[in-house]
Structure 1
Amino acid sequence: MFQATKIQAAKQLGRLFAMTLLCAAAVGAHGAQADTYPNKPVRVIVPYAVGGGGDIVGRPLAQYLSQRTGQRFIMDNHGGANGNIGMDMVAKAPNDGYTLVLALTAQLAVNQSLYRNLPYDPVKDFEPVSLLASAPYFLVVHPSVPARNLAEFIKLAKANPGKYTYGSSGNGSGPHLSMELLKSKAGIDLVHVPFKGAGPAMPALLAGQVSAMFASYGLASQQIKAGKLRVLAVSTANRAVSMPDVPTVAESGVPGYDSNVWYALLAPRGTPKPIVARLSSEIATLVKSSDLRQRFLTDGIVPVGSTPEELGAYIKSESTKWDAVVKQSGATID
């Protein structure tokens, strides 16, 4: 019996030793893989059509990473279903570091609350790499609205519940949910008029067909400068570098309000951590570049940069925040 026990213990030690060798080999393989990464072109999926905000952030990123690594980082636009098609492609792609995704707030913190059957899980199916950049929305109104600032607009809306309308780029979009968050915090009643994109929504606002809208800097800045729209506030917690004289919503009497659109780089779940760390480190250097900062700020976008862990925590906190707003608004997309 004692001999059998010794034999059993020896077998267990043998199995443990074999497992240790396998783990060491795997770590060694991943380390070697990271040392030579990338050794072929890398595809960066943008889950939107060509010409959107994803391209404004993604193309400088791809250009920089190509220069730094000596391999091409290729932007590959796959729009549709509010970004779900592109996200699903990357979730099912090989986890070797050669397929990445440049995702926005909608895909990572909103869609899981809007869609009943989302084809991907924003937390379980991806490895966070880095938070690249963020951009504010500007609350603008048609000049016919008799409000010079946000406090006056809130007072006006409270005195006339349901009278004033606001446009958005679609049900569940960033501008829609940003206004729903304002409605909730300020206790006002505005009527939502969704459009099929920000492009159609802006002419409706300029024509006075809707009263107000949260719009990006690129979409609204020229109209504000031309006096065709009046800007009341910026959506972020801090004032925008692109329009420093515009007060925040929080400064204007709605404490705790904060909304933005943000851009993040992710890889399929299981991508070797040394590769993820290499990409994150390159982006940390990129966002400090004065040329890139100026290029982004011209478009109203602020470079950020983060560790994978910081991005993972941010996705979870943003998901919790926007889930509550979506439920309160009643917005759904089947």
Structure 2
Amino acid sequence: MTKVTRRSLAAAGLAAVPALAGLGSRPSAAQEVFPARTLTLVVPWTAGGSTDTLGRVLAQTMSMNLHQPIVVENRSGASGTVGHGFVARSKPDGYTFLLATNSTYAMAPHLMTLPYENRAAFTGLSLVARSAQALCVHPSMPVNTVAEFLAYVRARPGDVTFSSAGIGASSHLATELLMAKTRTQMLHVPYRGGAPSVQGLLAGEVKVSFVDLVTALPFRQDGRLKVLGVSTTARSDLARDVPTLAESGVAGFESSTDFAFLLPAGTPAPIVQKLSTSLRSALQDPETKARIIALGIEPVGSTAAELDAYWTRELDKWGEIIRVQHITLG
């Protein structure tokens, strides 16, 4: 039987110190290197649309440079606010983030009561990309330029019909912005989604609509639509011959579908930085960039501060249009 003495106990305690120190140096769950598991990118719209497709392209490239899978999860409903609400309630650990559009983060707050704080609930990561819209008219309209179109509408105040994807949608507010800047009046015919809105225009049920440029161009080519102008401040590389509305006489006109990455508020700065670096790398990757441009979407990218300033401008712009044009969901 081994005799236990004070000296042997002390020696044993000293011997244990290095082992305990070694245990303390091992990374704990709280100290894990991010990301250590699958991430989730929430798309607040249905599968198959431009936001969903863009999200899947970016998720594929980012998963490679982060060395972890990124699962795209569609949580649609209520003008994108269902998905926003889900991310706002998610744990701020970087594993759940959001691909948002300005129709939800800049337009919806002026039209509905949100189940979350529009700014305070999120940490802005980056402006991601921009999709130009086209002012389109049915071929039966005897106009070929923006100037001719405006003259036609002014001669028929309130008679010319325009479609949209619904009240408060970007296609709706782009037309309201046009009417406010040109002091014209048209009759709004809201549809339940972008595809039905375009079909209504193609069928001649309405005469005018703002349509995503990439969607409009094939119909322009086969003569089923006339494309009079693009909504962005610069001409699109998809159709260099189509002038902007601003250069066509509608001074200061700018409208587009703008995509941004948002995280739950309180996400630690090192995680925000790592995701920002991953996104920037994806947007600069030649193959990924080409795939995005093929969708008719312009890669942008920004700092968090640039996104924050842009967000304020968008909220102010669309809030003013909604107020001046007396737009409500009721």
Using structure 2 for the length normalisation, give the TM-score: 0.89
Question: What is the CA–CA distance in structure 1 between the aligned matches of 2:304 and 2:48, rounded to whole Å?
Answer: 27
Aligned pairs for 1:55-204 within 5 A: 55-115=52-112, 117-204=113-200
Amino acid at match of 2:67: G
Question: What does residue 300 of structure 1 align with?
Answer: 296
1:217 Cα offset (Å): 2.4
Amino acid at match of 2:62: L
Question: What does residue 44 of structure 2 align with?
Answer: 47
Question: What is the CA–CA distance in structure 2 between the aligned matches of 1:202 and 1:269, rounded to whole Å?
Answer: 37
Question: What does residue 255 of structure 1 align with?
Answer: 251
Amino acid at match of 1:76: E
1:222 and 2:218 matched: yes
2:328 equivalent among 320, 327, 332: 332
Is the Cα contact below 8 Å between 1:131 and 1:264 reproduced in 2? yes
Amino acid at match of 1:211: K
Query: Alpha-carbon deviations, 1:45-97, whole Å to 9, x = none?
Result: 11111111111210011111110111111100000011111100110110011
Query: Alpha-carbon deviations, 1:195-249, whole Å to 9, x = none?
Result: 0011111121112110110001232121111011000000001111111110000
Question: What does residue 208 of structure 2 align with?
Answer: 212
1:329 Cα offset (Å): 2.5
Identity of aligned residues (%): 38
Question: What does residue 13 of structure 2 align with?
Answer: none
1:320 and 2:298 matched: no
Amino acid at match of 1:254: V
Amino acid at match of 2:184: I
Amino acid at match of 1:330: H
Question: What does residue 19 of structure 1 align with?
Answer: none
Question: What is the CA–CA distance in structure 2 between the aligned matches of 1:32 and 1:313, rounded to whole Å?
Answer: 33
User: How many residues end up aligned between the 2 structures?
Assistant: 304
Amino acid at match of 2:128: L
Aligned pairs for 1:244-283 within 5 A: 244-283=240-279
Amino acid at match of 1:113: H
Question: What is the CA–CA distance in structure 2 between the aligned matches of 1:204 and 1:149, rounded to whole Å?
Answer: 22
Question: What does residue 284 of structure 1 align with?
Answer: 280
Per mean C-alpha deviation after superposition, the further-off stretch among 85-94 and 213-222 is 213-222
Question: What does residue 15 of structure 1 align with?
Answer: none
Amino acid at match of 1:228: R
Is the Cα contact below 8 Å between 1:217 and 1:299 reproduced in 2? no
Using structure 1 for the length normalisation, give the TM-score: 0.88
Is the Cα contact below 8 Å between 2:40 and 2:70 reproduced in 1? yes
Give the gaps of 5 or more residues in structure 2.
1-27
Query: Alpha-carbon deviations, 1:117-169, whole Å to 9, x = none?
Result: 21122211100011110011001100111111001100111111112111011
Amino acid at match of 1:206: L
Is the Cα contact below 8 Å between 1:241 and 1:297 reproduced in 2? no
Question: What is the CA–CA distance in structure 1 between the aligned matches of 2:123 and 2:265, rounded to whole Å?
Answer: 5
RMSD: 1.7
Question: What is the CA–CA distance in structure 2 between the aligned matches of 1:102 and 1:53, rounded to whole Å?
Answer: 11
Q: What SS is found at the alignment partner of 2:116? A: coil
1:333 Cα offset (Å): 2.9
Question: What is the CA–CA distance in structure 1 between the aligned matches of 2:31 and 2:126, rounded to whole Å?
Answer: 22
Is the Cα contact below 8 Å between 2:230 and 2:236 reproduced in 1? yes
Q: What SS is found at the alignment partner of 2:249? A: coil
Question: What is the CA–CA distance in structure 1 between the aligned matches of 2:226 and 2:281, rounded to whole Å?
Answer: 38
Is the Cα contact below 8 Å between 2:66 and 2:278 reproduced in 1? no
Q: What SS is found at the alignment partner of 1:103? A: strand
1:32 Cα offset (Å): 5.3
